[in-house]
Amino acid sequence: RSVNIVAFGNERDGFSEDNQQLSLIWSYLRRSALISQIDSSLSASHVGNPVFTEYQACVFGNVRLVVHDCPVWDIFDSDWYTSRSLIGGADIIVIKYSVNDKTSFQELKDSYVPMIKKAINQCSVPVIISAVGARKNGVPCTCPLCTSDRRSCVTTSEGVQLAKELGATYLELHTLNDFYIQKYFGGVLEYFMIQSLNQKSSEKMKKRKKMQKCHRVQPPQLEQPEKMPILKGEASHYDVDLHNLLCCCQCADVAFYPEDLSTAVEAHKVILCSASHLFMLLFEVKSPADIRDAAIMRTAQSLFAVESVVPCGVPPCVPPVRVVVKDAVFCSCLPDILRFIYSGAFRWEQLEEDIKKKLKDPEKTEHVLEKVKCILKAPGKLNTVKDCRSHQIKQLYNTSLRLFFNTPVLADVIFKIQGATVPAHRAVLVARCEVMAAMFNGNYLEANSVLVPVYGVSKDTFLSFLEYLYTDSCCPASILQAMSLLICAEMYQVMRLQHICELYIITQLQSMPSRELASTSLSIVSLLKKAKFHNSDCLSTWLLHFIATNYLIFSQKPEFQDLSVEERNFVEMHRWPSNLYLKQLADYRNYVHSQKCHCTVM
């Protein structure tokens, strides 16, 4: 017997200086008298950036307790397959937030609650919403440049309303002491554990009674179908792609120089602007009226000077914009700062260490780091060291580069497809796609052209492909759209996107009920043919097993005749149920019928 609990959200106060505060889940496991034999392990998508912690323990003596604690909501954006699997296997869901972090609560309510509602609509899972912390209502900021009061608290009524939307139980835990952890939170959690165990025991007893009905002559045992091939997702190499772009300097459109113009450090406007409002101001993506932050404007004027040079070429052969770095100490550290930005701007501790080693002067080190903080500063917000720490900052590009997706701002290439035009940025394309890197840097016509025609795919599919290159994520609307995107990914040799589309198709087909599978107009055989033609070996193998496993459904469809001889032989060999079982079932039915005809009672 086991109970699976999934916890989402971060209950820590974003403005508290106590970064060692224990989590709600870990505090409960440590303090509860019912819990024993606790073990934990981390699961990570990036080194140093854990997605969730898994705890395993025993509860009520011999019941296995498995808890997945996911403090970062980004798992729904970066790995929807894992998040869906966690919710699908949960017996209890816990949602946590800090009452003093209104921004995170609003993001939870607007972005992630609809996803959770959609996932739990298919199953009845109890949900506990825990509002953690004592409210610290200070005087709100009256500055007209501030768009929101970050220190405003989440009210009780807002939490109760959220609980109503999810049909959840709402708890307020003013502090993580023994009373709130064990008696209040623990009491509710243990109640739902007992309910879950009772439900599982009831279902087990019903199944056992059903199996005991025919105790004289048992029907033939239907073996489980063969296990289908498991597709494993490929790890993201998004940060590595953009870091390599900086190293090779392909398609660079900006060059930084010291005041003596002795050396140059090349970079890319679109990457810098995605990281910093200061660079947006410097390269005229935004105006001072848009920024409205005196600190950012002062730093831009004191650090950089953009040289006015008359272009001597025709796009895309325009030379890089020359930017003079006025601060000599900052200029000496510029390669390290650019590596930090291109690697995702979340390894702040590594940047501190690199600059300390290079300068060997605490005052100069602090001076440079303050400049970097101002470069990364958001307009109208205070700039603190804590905001730059690795666990406080999100991945940069999968949110910021989205600002430049399908917009003409800083674009240096235009794709022409189905009579429409789609603007893009060579730097992003070259970094993320090897085929486009060869196309724009080799002896091809596209290398010297601004307008590039695209054939063989639709505009919507190509836009989805570009969106993946910019954001490292995609969410197809249907199986057919996922197959079109898979074909486009194979055309441009973006293997990770191809694997994501394969996983999406498989997940959608697995969740389709037999009745819908029998009536759908979607041709699985056609998907199989396309998967084979476009070298998607994993998907084609899985689809063959899927057809064999649902043999009774697909053998009645006209498309079944389109299978090749080799494919038909495979399906017949692995079909479920097997011919042997069907023969045994026919014999059993004949036996039951004969027993009714010779009833000894009558």
Backbone angles phi and psi of 21, in degrees to 5:
-55, 130
Asked whether 477 and 463 are in contact (CB, 8 A), the reply is: no
Nearest Cα to 188, choosing from 126, 105, 131, 121?
126
Residues 6+ apart with CB under 8 A from 119: 84, 87, 88
Asked whether the predicted pLDDT for residue 28 surpasses 50, the reply is: yes
Nearest Cα to 222, choosing from 586, 590, 577, 587?
577
557, 563, 567, 569 alpha-carbon torsion, rounded to 10° = 70
What's the pLDDT score for residue 273?
92
Asked whether the predicted pLDDT for residue 361 surpasses 50, the reply is: yes
Residues 6+ apart with CB under 8 A from 451: 414, 416, 421
Report the 10 Å Cβ neighbour count for 230: 8
Measured CA to CA in angstroms, residue 86 lies from 30, 212, 249 at distances of: 23, 34, 41
What's the pLDDT score for residue 115?
81
Q: How confident is the model over 515-537, as pLDDT tens digits?
A: 999 999 999 999 999 999 999 99
Separation CA 204–CA 1 (nearest Å): 11
What's the pLDDT score for residue 484?
96
Query: Pick the residue with more confidence: 389 or 580?
Result: 580
What's the pLDDT score for residue 599?
47
201, 205, 211, 215 alpha-carbon torsion, rounded to 10° = 140
Q: Which range is least confidently modeled, 32-36, 196-200, 587-591?
A: 32-36
DSSP 34-55: TEEEEEEEEEEEETTEEEEEEE
Backbone angles phi and psi of 75, in degrees to 5:
-60, -30
What's the pLDDT score for residue 433?
94
Nearest Cα to 246, choosing from 400, 438, 494, 428?
428
Q: Which range is least confidently modeled, 129-138, 284-293, 346-355, 465-474?
A: 129-138
Measured CA to CA in angstroms, residue 556 lies from 528, 545, 547 at distances of: 17, 17, 11
Asked whether the predicted pLDDT for residue 387 surpasses 60, the reply is: no
What's the pLDDT score for residue 485?
96
pTM: 0.60
Q: Which range is least confidently modeled, 245-249, 503-507, 521-525?
A: 245-249
pLDDT (mean) for 577-586: 84
Nearest Cα to 134, choosing from 91, 186, 166, 177?
177
Strands (E), 311-460: 321-325, 413-417, 420-424, 451-453
Measured CA to CA in angstroms, residue 5 lies from 56, 70, 76, 80, 109 at distances of: 10, 11, 17, 18, 21
Report the SS3 class of residue 409. Answer: coil
Query: Pick the residue with more confidence: 130 or 81?
Result: 130
Asked whether the predicted pLDDT for residue 112 surpasses 50, the reply is: yes
Residues 6+ apart with CB under 8 A from 589: none
Asked whether the predicted pLDDT for residue 79 surpasses 90, the reply is: no
DSSP assigned state of 123:
S
pLDDT (mean) for 214-223: 60
Nearest Cα to 471, choosing from 402, 393, 563, 547?
402
Report the SS3 class of residue 304. Answer: strand
Q: Residue 495: CA atoms inside 13 Å, Cβ hemisphere, count?
A: 10
What's the pLDDT score for residue 501?
94
pLDDT category at 482 given cuts 50, 70, 90 is very high
What's the pLDDT score for residue 232?
67
Indicate if the alpha-carbon torsion angle 477, 480, 483, 488 is positive or negative: negative
Residues 6+ apart with CB under 8 A from 344: 238, 239, 242, 395, 396, 397
Asked whether the predicted pLDDT for residue 598 surpasses 80, the reply is: no
Separation CA 89–CA 123 (nearest Å): 10
Q: Tokens in use for 21? A: 């505060």
pLDDT category at 144 given cuts 50, 70, 90 is very low
Nearest Cα to 52, choosing from 113, 5, 99?
5
Highest mean pLDDT among 315-329, 367-381, 478-492: 478-492
Q: Tokens in use for 589? A: 């039915």
pLDDT (mean) for 217-245: 74
Asked whether the predicted pLDDT for residue 393 surpasses 50, the reply is: no
Residues 6+ apart with CB under 8 A from 482: 476, 501, 504, 505, 508
Backbone angles phi and psi of 95, in degrees to 5:
-115, 125
Query: Pick the residue with more confidence: 204 or 407?
Result: 407
Percent helix / strand / coil, the chain, rounded to 5:
50, 15, 35
pLDDT (mean) for 142-153: 54
Q: Tokens in use for 63? A: 């019941």
pLDDT category at 311 given cuts 50, 70, 90 is low
Q: Which range is least confidently modeled, 2-11, 132-141, 429-438?
A: 132-141
Asked whether the predicted pLDDT for residue 336 surpasses 80, the reply is: yes
Query: Pick the residue with more confidence: 216 or 344?
Result: 344
Amino acid identity of residue 490, one-letter, is: E
pLDDT (mean) for 92-113: 87
DSSP 419-462: TEEEEE-HHHHHHH-HHHHHHHHSSSGGGG-SEEE--SS-HHHH
Query: What share of the chain has pLDDT > 70, as a percent?
Result: 82
Separation CA 34–CA 3 (nearest Å): 14
pLDDT category at 392 given cuts 50, 70, 90 is very low
Query: Pick the residue with more confidence: 221 or 397?
Result: 221
Structural domains present in the chain? 2-137+150-209 (3.40.50.300), 249-398 (no CATH), 405-510 (3.30.710.10), 523-601 (no CATH)
Separation CA 510–CA 500 (nearest Å): 15
What's the pLDDT score for residue 120?
74
Highest mean pLDDT among 93-107, 146-160, 496-510, 567-581: 496-510
What is the overall mean pLDDT for the chain? 83
Separation CA 71–CA 279 (nearest Å): 32
